[in-house]
């Protein structure tokens, strides 16, 4: 099956994803990566901005859930417990197990589900293979270390090719 690695939208930051925008896109279930998407890895728990955003989605009728490749559940559980949302750990992105499981669990069709993440070869590839829309963000707190600078540089042409680049 053919699929593309080009995200549907690119944003500077998750806070640009308002309930009004998601509703206009017909997105009722938002599956999000955690590290560098909602918080830099150095951040141990949800900050005020993340709590406010999560609450605004809930009030706007959008379900948020975390799909993480994190090996240890401790970090993901601390975030999700603090935000009152569910998660699927060991998701094995770019495999689609996490996406399929979340869609089944929340009873929302793939056509009304989107993935939010910062990486092309895990988050975006998983979303595209899973047949859901992909919303990409710049890495929260910026790329960390030489490899991540290279990686994010390599991702840039794919992000520029997206349907709508909302970074400008």
Binding mask 109-138 for Mg ion (x = CB under 5 A): ---------x--------------------
Cβ proximity to Mg ion, 118 vs 138, nearer residue: 118
CB of residue 18 to Mg ion, shortest distance in Å:
21
Which of 23, 31, 16 is closest to 110 using CA atoms? 31
Interface residue with Mg ion, options 35, 125, 134, 136 (CB under 5 A):
35
| Nearer residue to Mg ion within complex by CB, 6 or 34 | 34
Verify binding: residue 14, Mg ion, rule CB under 5 A: no
Q: How far is the CB of 20 from Mg ion (least distance, A)?
A: 25
Judged by DSSP in three states, 134 sits in strand
Helix (H, G, I), strand (E, B) or coil at 5: coil
Nearer to Mg ion, 36 or 79 (CB): 36
CA-to-CA distance for 166 and 10, rounded, in angstroms? Answer: 6
d(CA 123, CA 128): 9
Tokens 């992105």, residue located: 93
């Amino acid at each position: 099956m053919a699929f593309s690695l080009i995200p549907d939208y690119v944003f500077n930051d998750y806070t640009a994803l308002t309930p009004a925008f998601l509703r206009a896109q017909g997105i009722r279930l938002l599956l999000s990566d955690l590290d560098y998407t909602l918080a830099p890895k150095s951040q141990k728990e949800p900050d005020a901005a993340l709590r406010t955003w999560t609450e605004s989605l809930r009030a706007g009728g959008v379900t948020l859930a975390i799909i993480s490749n994190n090996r240890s559940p401790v970090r993901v559980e601390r975030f999700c417990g603090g935000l009152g949302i569910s998660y699927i750990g060991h998701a094995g992105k770019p495999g689609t197990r996490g996406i399929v499981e979340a869609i089944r669990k929340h009873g929302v069709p793939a056509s009304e589900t989107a993935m939010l993440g910062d990486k092309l070869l895990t988050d975006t590839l998983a979303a595209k293979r899973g047949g859901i829309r992909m919303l990409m963000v710049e890495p929260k707190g910026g790329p960390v270390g030489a490899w991540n600078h290279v990686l994010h540089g390599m991702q840039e042409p794919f992000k520029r090719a997206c349907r709508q680049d909302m970074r400008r």
